């Protein structure tokens, strides 16, 4: 374990919890809107095939870089006891991103029709991974405003570069390179200067921390499985139905991503506070905050599902064009599956706050196997509707298993005895 870093320069005061939540919603909302606009732009200018190739690149690289990233941001943000220095996290993250680039090159070779997009999207993920470990330090210091500003900059710049390059060249390789350029610009011009205000001293201090790797590896595996679960239907669709069907599926799915913005923003803003309640054995406060998050997620999911059921066809026509209006039925089931996923994510935030990392691994191995079996059975028989059904089954399994582990984690908590004179 590295020696504690020197005291960093004095940074401006962090915003309060409510302001931090608002910043997080704004940041995640802007970023997700930018990602969605990328899909809309590709759908309208390049068709479903272009969306499918772009989505394939994300489906291959997202689980890989989440696995190699080890969710160090979450581990760092919930390290209330300051067990590890920032240099421990940074020294572990940097070589893992380089390894990810090597593996990305191999994956790109397996899909010649999408190799350029896969490589540049992998590069963007690697750069995002460096920013992400800096976000962990910022989140630990409750600088959610900085994280939000960085996320907004990366999203809007990525949209501008992808959109401009695609309209000029109609080439997905150049378009994906624009996304990587946005990540590099944000890292160099925004993230690194602010990181120095909350993390002084040398960041690169080998050797790697074996104890941190051992602690974080289960969570990295879990997040990779979570991402694989999100992308398994996409990989099955690409293999069995082709890039065009994958493009349609991805476009329909992005509507639920809009709802997940609020859920992720709330969960991110509350994770540090939840971890503090858990460390202090404040069981009632931990449960109250977790249930508040779950209720908010349930409301968002219900509203989206109702909207897709009432106006799904016209909404798809407006967003993507007339060809997509025929997919209203799978769209409804996709929003329903997304709503179940929102609830499962809330339990995931609670598990991370309680630092229950190892218990999640067998859970998500089971969830992934259930989802893979559902994809194998339903997609060949029902197409996109089958993919939505498989997603709903996977989300339901994750929800039930996650809350079971949360309740097991809370069972041994005992409030600390009152101080003398307070009894």
Report residue 93 CA to chain centroid gap: 17
* Structural domain total, the chain: 1
**Two structure tokens written together for 418:** 């009152």
Beta carbons of 120 and 176 less than 8 angstroms apart? yes
User: For each of the chain's 423 residues, which pLDDT tens digit applies?
Assistant: 454 544 545 555 666 667 777 887 788 888 888 988 898 888 888 787 888 889 889 989 988 998 898 888 878 877 766 778 888 888 989 999 999 999 999 999 998 888 999 999 999 999 999 999 899 888 877 788 888 999 999 999 999 999 999 989 888 899 999 999 999 999 999 999 988 887 777 777 777 777 888 888 887 887 888 888 888 999 899 888 888 888 888 888 888 877 777 787 778 777 778 888 887 877 888 888 888 888 888 888 888 889 888 888 888 888 887 888 888 888 999 999 888 888 888 888 888 788 777 787 888 899 999 999 999 999 998 888 999 999 999 989 988 888 888 888 777 766 555 544 444
CA-based nearest residue to 4, from 90, 85, 108 = 85
Is the link from the previous residue into 69 a cis peptide, with omega within 30 of 0?
Answer: no
Is residue 382 in a domain? yes
Domain span at residue 147?
17-410
Residues 6+ apart with CB under 8 A from 398: 226, 229, 341, 344, 363, 364, 367
Q: How many C-beta atoms surround the C-beta of residue 302 within 10 A?
A: 14
pLDDT for res 375: 94
CA atoms within 13 A on the CB side of 52: 20
Backbone angles phi, psi at 421, to 5 degrees: 90, -10
**Is residue 418 included in any domain, yes or no?**
no
What DSSP line would sit under 9-67, residue for residue? PPPPPPP-HHHHHHHHHHHHHHHHHHHHHHHHHHHHHHHHHHHHHHHHHHHHHHHHHHH
Helix (H) or strand (E) holding 341: helix 328-353
Q: Is residue 417 part of a domain?
A: no
Residues 60 and 11: their CA atoms lie apart, in Å, by 38
Phi, psi for 257 (deg, rounded to 5): -60, -35
Q: Are 274 and 349 in contact (CB under 8 A)?
A: yes
Distance CA 265, CA 350 (A): 14
Q: What is the pLDDT of residue 141?
A: 79
CA distance 239 to 104: 19
Q: Which two tokens stand for residue 334?
A: 């996709």
Supply the DSSP string of 343-404, one letter for each residue: HHHHHHHHHHHTT--TTHHHHHHHHHHHHHHHHHHHHHHHTHHHHHHHHHHHHHHHHHHHHH
Residue 11: the pLDDT is: 55
Contact, 251 vs 324, CB < 8 A?
Answer: yes
Residue 381 domain-assigned (yes or no)? yes
Interhelix angle for 328-353 vs 283-320, to 10°? Answer: 150
272: Cβ contacts below 8 Å, ≥ 6 apart: 77, 78, 80, 139, 140, 142, 353
Distances in whole angstroms, Cα of residue 52 to Cα of each of 39, 126, 139, 228: 10, 22, 34, 17
Cβ neighbour number for residue 314 with a 10 Å cutoff: 11
**If we measure between CA atoms, which residue out of 234, 225, 224, 228 comes closest to residue 254?**
234
Cβ count within 10 A of residue 277? 21
Q: Is residue 80 a contact partner of residue 279, using CB atoms and an 8 Å limit?
A: yes
Extract the tokens encoding 10: 């004095």
Which pTM value belongs to this model? 0.75
Q: Is residue 205 part of a domain?
A: yes
Q: What's the confidence (pLDDT) of residue 17?
A: 63
**Residue 7 falls within a domain, yes or no?**
no
Task: State the pLDDT at residue 231.
Answer: 86
11 found inside a domain: no
Kind and range of the H or E run holding 266:
helix 243-279
Q: What's the angle, vertex CA 294, arms to CA 32 and CA 273, rounded to 5?
A: 85
pLDDT the model gives residue 102: 96
366 lies in some domain: yes
Taking residue 273's Cβ as centre, other Cβ atoms within 10 Å add up to 16
């Amino acid at each position: 374990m590295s020696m504690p870093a020197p005291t960093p320069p004095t940074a401006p005061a962090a915003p309060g919890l409510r302001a931090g939540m608002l910043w997080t919603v704004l940041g995640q909302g802007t970023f997700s809107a930018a990602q969605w606009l990328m899909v809309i732009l590709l759908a309208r200018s390049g068709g479903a095939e272009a969306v499918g190739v772009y989505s394939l690149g994300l489906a291959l690289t997202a689980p890989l870089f989440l696995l190699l990233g080890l969710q160090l941001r979450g581990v760092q943000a919930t390290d209330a006891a300051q067990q590890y220095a920032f240099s421990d996290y940074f020294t572990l993250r940097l070589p893992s991103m380089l390894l990810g680039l090597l593996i990305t090159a191999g994956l790109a070779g397996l899909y010649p029709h999408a190799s350029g997009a896969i490589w540049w999207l992998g590069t963007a993920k690697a750069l995002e991974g460096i920013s992400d470990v800096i976000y962990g330090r910022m989140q630990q210091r409750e600088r959610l405003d900085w994280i939000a500003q960085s996320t907004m900059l990366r999203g809007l710049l990525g949209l501008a570069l992808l959109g401009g390059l695609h309209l000029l060249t109609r080439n997905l390789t150049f378009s994906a390179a624009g996304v990587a350029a946005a990540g590099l610009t944000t890292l160099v011009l925004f993230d690194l200067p602010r990181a120095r205000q909350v993390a002084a001293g040398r960041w690169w201090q080998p050797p790697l921390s074996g104890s941190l790797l051992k602690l974080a590896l289960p969570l990295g595996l879990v997040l990779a499985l979570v991402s694989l679960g999100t992308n398994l239907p996409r990989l099955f669709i690409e293999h069995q139905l082709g890039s065009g069907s994958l493009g349609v599926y991805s476009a329909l799915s992005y509507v639920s991503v809009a709802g997940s913005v609020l859920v992720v923003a709330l969960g991110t803003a509350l994770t540090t506070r939840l971890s503090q309640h858990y460390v202090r054995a404040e069981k009632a406060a931990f449960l109250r905050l977790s249930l508040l998050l779950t209720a908010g997620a349930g409301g968002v999911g219900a509203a989206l599902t109702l909207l897709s059921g009432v106006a799904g066809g016209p909404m798809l026509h407006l967003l993507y064009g007339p060809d997509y209006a025929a997919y209203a039925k799978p769209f409804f089931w996709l929003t329903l599956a997304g709503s179940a996923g929102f609830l499962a994510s809330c339990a995931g935030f609670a598990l991370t706050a309680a630092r229950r990392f190892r218990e999640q691994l067998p859970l998500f191995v089971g969830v992934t196997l259930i989802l893979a079996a559902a994809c194998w059975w339903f997609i060949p028989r029902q197409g996109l509707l089958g993919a939505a059904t498989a997603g709903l089954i996977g989300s339901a399994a994750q929800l039930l298993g996650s809350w079971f582990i949360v309740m097991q984690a809370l069972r041994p908590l005992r409030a600390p005895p009152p101080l003398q004179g307070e009894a």
